[in-house]
Amino acid sequence: QVQLVESGGGLVQPGGSLRLSCAASGFTLDYWAIGWFRQAPGKEREGVSCISSSDGSTYYVDSVKGRFTIFRDNAKNTVYLQMNSLKPEDTAVYYCASVFRLTSSCSKWPGEYVYWGQGTQVTVSS
């Protein structure tokens, strides 16, 4: 059974850090691009970051550049999103998603992804 499971969300104060994990089961991530998306209440789902399968090329939305880092550990079949200097506007449900893609690129568009996790809540508030 193919499954992605996110973890690591929670409540954090502005300026704090969280590390989200996206663990895959039922398939190996080696040939899959992975994206992180977020959705705040009343807003559309937004592509936050993604990482390619072949060479680890990455993408970040402008609002998180310099603060978030995506990286993968294929040995653990897991992709991570390290989030530093968190802001209240980062508050959302965060999802990871995967698509089989043997290129040195990844997509920020949710419609291009096949498998999705259940989401993890991130709340940034004092």
Q: How many residues does the chain have?
A: 126
How far are the Cα atoms of 36, 41, 77, 83 from residue 91, in angstroms, in the given order? 14, 9, 26, 12
Residue 125 clears pLDDT 90, i.e. is over it: yes
Strand pairing category for 10-12 and 58-60:
unpaired
CB 55 within 8 A of CB 72: no
Tell me the C-alpha distance between 108 and 87, whole Å: 21
User: What percent of the chain stands above pLDDT 70?
Assistant: 100
The dihedral over CA atoms of 32, 38, 39, 43, expressed in degrees to the nearest 10, equals -100
Q: How many CB atoms lie within 10 A of CB 57?
A: 14
- pLDDT confidence band for 46 (50 / 70 / 90): very high
Residue 54 clears pLDDT 90, i.e. is over it: no
DSSP 13-44: -TT--EEEEEEEESS-GGGEEEEEEEE-TTS-
**What confidence tens digit (pLDDT) does each residue in 21-37 have?**
999 999 888 889 999 99
Q: Please give the average per-residue pLDDT across 71-81, as a whole number.
A: 95
User: What percent of the chain stands above pLDDT 90?
Assistant: 87
What integer pLDDT is reported at residue 103 of this predicted model?
82
What integer pLDDT is reported at residue 99 of this predicted model?
93
